[in-house]
Amino acid sequence: MSRIGVKSIKLGPNTTFNISEEGLITVKGPKGTLKQQVADAAKIDFQNKQGVLHLISKEEDVKQNAMHGLYRSLIANMVIGVEKGFEKRLIVNGVGYKVAMQGKTLVMNIGYSKPVNFETPEGITLSVAGPTEIVVEGCDKTVVGQCAADIKAKRKPEPYHGYGIRYKDEVILRKEIKAAGK
C-alpha cells in the first residue's frame, strides 16, 4: 500500500473533479482547468464523497503502489493549482543586470551584447516585481517550473561572484577566487 496514495485530497467549494471512461481526469476551479491522462497500467479507482477525493489501488504490488502515489500527487497538485495557483520568483544578480516587461515579452539585460527576449508561454503569467525580480505564475505546476527553469537557463549563476539568474530561495555555493602565488 502506498503511503502517499492513501492520503485523501480535499476539494474546494468551487472545484470540480471528473474522470472520463477513457481515463482523462479533469479538474476545474477558479484559476482554470487542468487535464491529466491516467495510464492504462494504473489500476486505480476514484471515490469523490462530499468534497474529499480518495484514490483506491485495485492491486497490491510494487509498481502499482508507485502508480498509486504518483497519481495522488499529480491530482493533488492539479487541485492546488486550480484553487490557489503556483508561483516561482527569480532574482537577477549582476552589475547592470535588469529586467522589464514589454507587452507579453520579458526583456532581460543580463550581460550579453543585446537584450534577451523571452516570450510568455500559454497558461503562464510573467510579471516584474522590481528591476531585478521576475515572478512566474500559473495553475499548472510543471509548466510554471519549466518556464522558470527556461528563464534561469538564459544566464545561470556563476560560482565566483554569483552573477546570473537564480531562484529567490536558492543558495549559490561560492568558490574562492584564486590568490596570486609567489
Which domains, ranges and CATH numbers included, belong to the chain? Answer: 9-83 (3.90.930.12), 86-167 (3.90.930.12)
CA distance 33 to 139: 8
- In eight-state DSSP terms, residue 177 is P
CA distance 136 to 139: 11
- Rounded to whole angstroms, the Cα distance separating 133 from 39 reads 39
Task: Show contacts of 56-63: CB within 8 Å, 24+ apart.
Answer: 57/1, 57/2, 57/5, 60/1
Going through the chain in order, the beta strands assigned E by DSSP cover 9-10, 16-19, 24-29, 32-37, 44-49, 52-57, 86-93, 98-102, 105-109, 116-119, 124-130, 133-138, 164-167
- Stated pTM of the model: 0.88
d(CA 172, CA 23): 42
- pLDDT at residue 32 is higher than 70: yes
- What's the rounded Cα separation, in Å, for the pair 143 and 150? 10
pLDDT of amino acid 75? 94
What is residue 182's predicted lDDT score, i.e. its pLDDT? 62
182 vs 121, which has greater pLDDT? 121
For 52-108, the pLDDT digits (tens) are 888 888 888 888 888 889 999 999 999 999 999 999 999 999 999 999 999 999 999
Between 114 and 42, residue with greater pLDDT = 114
